[in-house]
Each structure stands twice: as structure tokens, then as C-alpha cells.
Copies of this chain bind each other. A is one copy, B any other.
Amino acid sequence: MKKVLVVDDEQSIVTLLRYNLEHAGFEVMTAMNGEEGKDMAIQNSPDIIILDLMLPKIDGIEVCKQLRQQKISTPILMLTAKDEEFDKVLGLELGADDYMTKPFSPREVIARVKAILRRTQVHAAPMEPETEEHDSIKLSKLTIYPEQYEAFFDDELLDLTPKEFELLVYLAKNKGRVLTRDQLLSAVWNYDFVGDTRIVDVHISHLREKIEEDSKKPVFIKTIRGLGYKMEEPKGE
């Protein structure tokens, strides 16, 4: 199991990332300041580090620099606040492998972490930029290609908005499982979203309009009254 070190001073972020990373099958350890983070990076040799730029004691830039000076090449995913003008050159000089601006959605973080691990760890079988793995999710007539941001119904390309697509992918990846509005919100929306959970309903409605033959009698996205929604493989008629 891959080990992830999360270094951030905001408790909420740490909790959020821990929860989501663990669910994605990672082993998670955390540090709340730069010094601690650096030490853990050295001692526990994680497979990847998620590092906030602004940190107490030593900031993210310093941590990154110091690790690289010590020839520790653990991949680093940098977190930066939206307004912190983070230029890429600086990032590259530090040796960070990728960066990401807050606020982000958990799905996004997992995707980046996986991407970084994929490209840094696979020395034995490097891939050409051209040949990406086209993993798809199929549910009877519905086919989703998460990587390409495309979904088809009956071989016809669906015109989905980003949010609809994200929602669909998350539902599909958890097919057969009931997901509450809260779960969907915290997986698909940015973590700083404040608003009614009913927004989920609206997007579900839009999605059904586009993927269900009869949106009055949905076969893909079922409503579980009192709980939330569930994606299902439609049973043969």
C-alpha cells in the first residue's frame, strides 16, 4: 500500500485529505507544521508528499528545498492558496512535481496523486505520451471514459457539464452503493462549498435528463428516499 504524507496546518484540510486518501486505499500520515513534516518525510519515507505552501515553523518552500538538498526525491504535490501567485518556475526549482490551488475537490487530489505516482514510480515500463490506458466504466448502454472526460449513451456522445460529469463518474465508480447528498457533496464539490445539499438534487435531475431514456423512471440513478442516490446497472428487461 502506498504511503502518503500530508503536511498542512489547517485541521480541516488534513482531516478531509486523510479521509479521502484512506478511502482510496492509501496509508496516510500527517504533520501540521513544516518541521514535523520534514522529519516525517525523512524518517517514514512516504511514496508521496502533499505539502502546503504556507506552514508554521518552516514553510513549504523550505521543506521542499531542504528535502531535495538531502537528495530525498520523494514526489511532492504542492498546495497553494488561490491568490498566492505561485509561478511554475519557482515550483520547478524547488523540485515539486505538481501543484494545486485551493480550494480543490477530493476527487481532484486523488487523481493528481495517482498521476504523480504513475509517472514517477514506473521506471520499468515507461509509457509513451500517446498510449494512455483507456479505462472505462460500462453500465449497459452507458459508457464512461473518466480520463477523456467523455461519456456515451448508445455510442452517442453525451453533452455533460463538468459538474454533471464529475457526479456521474463518482456515482458510477460507486455503483450499487447508496451515497448520501453529503457524501456526494464532499467528494465532488470543492471542500469550501457552503450551501444546501439540495444542490445535489438539481444536478441529479439534469443528469437524468441526459442519461435516462425516461427521466420519470430512472434506471441508472435510483433515489433512495431518506438517504440519497444510488447508481445501478440496469437489470435485463
Contacts and interface: CB of A to CB of B under 8 A. Distances in A.
B162 A227 contact: yes
A182 B205 CA distance: 33
B88 A25 contact: no
**Is chain A's binding surface mostly helix, strand, loop or mixed?**
loop
A43 interface: no
A173 B129 CA distance: 8
B194 A162 contact: no
A15 B126 CA distance: 17
Contact of A89 (B27, B92, B194): B194
A217 interface: no
A92 B22 contact: no
B225 A161 contact: yes
Interface in A104-141: 119, 123, 126-130, 132
Interface of A: 1, 10-12, 15-16, 19, 22-27, 68, 87-89, 92-93, 95, 97, 119, 123, 126-130, 132, 147-149, 161-162, 173-174, 176-178, 182, 185-186, 191-192, 194, 224-227, 230
